[in-house]
């Protein structure tokens, strides 16, 4: 099935996409950056960098971390962070609904997959090796680093 992936470019290398939003949702569910990273199969460092990048995208914090210690620390989405996630998901739903007829047409016209094309559809690293993509350098570096 054809899928639409949405990445919002807020300018000056400030990007918000499905990986960061899913990380925010996971932090909201588990209450920890490290636990959210583990749940998504990424290192704590990668998760922390993504949270830091996301916090820097906006004029107010999206995630607030609480230092460890006896209380155990953790992290939580701010009220503003929950609004960011809600806005992103609303845009995503409206874009998917608007694109549905065209996605269906493209899916109907798609060739049958071959053995080479049966790799994980979420892994676009092959695009980097084949030299496709509008901004290959930045996109490929991001794919190496995680969602």
Inside any domain, residue 66: yes
Mean pLDDT of 68-95: 90
Inside any domain, residue 112: no
Q: How many domains does the chain have?
A: 1
Cα–Cα nearest to 61, from 27, 112, 34 = 27
Place 26 in a pLDDT band, splitting at 50, 70 and 90.
very high
Inside any domain, residue 37: yes
Tokens matching residue 55: 């916090």
65 close to 75: Cβ distance less than 8 angstroms: yes
Instruction: Give the phi and the psi of residue 87 in degrees, each rounded to 5.
Output: -65, -45
Compare 139 and 103 and report the one with higher pLDDT: 103
Axis-axis angle for helices 44-57, 18-30 (nearest 10): 110
Inside any domain, residue 6: no
Inside any domain, residue 82: yes
Compare 130 and 44 and report the one with higher pLDDT: 44
Q: How far apart are CA 130 and CA 60, in angstroms?
A: 39
Model's pTM, two decimal places?
A: 0.72
Inside any domain, residue 95: yes
Instruction: For 104-122, write each residue's pLDDT tens digit.
Output: 999 999 988 876 655 565 5
Domain that residue 133 falls in: 12-100+120-145
Kindly report the CATH number assigned to the domain that includes residue 66.
1.10.10.10
């Amino acid at each position: 099935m054809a899928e639409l992936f949405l990445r919002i470019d807020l300018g000056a290398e400030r990007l918000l996409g499905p990986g960061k939003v899913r990380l925010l949702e996971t932090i909201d569910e588990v209450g920890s950056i490290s636990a959210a990273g583990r749940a998504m199969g990424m290192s704590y460092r990668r998760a922390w960098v993504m949270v830091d990048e996301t916090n820097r995208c906006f004029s107010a914090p999206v995630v607030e971390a609480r230092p460890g210690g006896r209380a155990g620390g953790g992290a939580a989405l701010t009220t503003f962070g929950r609004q960011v996630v809600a806005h992103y998901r609303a845009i995503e739903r409206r874009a998917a609904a608007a694109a549905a007829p065209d996605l269906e047409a493209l899916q109907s016209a798609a060739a049958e997959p071959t053995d080479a094309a049966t790799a994980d559809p979420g892994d676009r690293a092959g695009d980097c090796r084949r030299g496709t993509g509008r901004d290959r350098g930045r996109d490929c570096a991001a794919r190496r680093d995680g969602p």
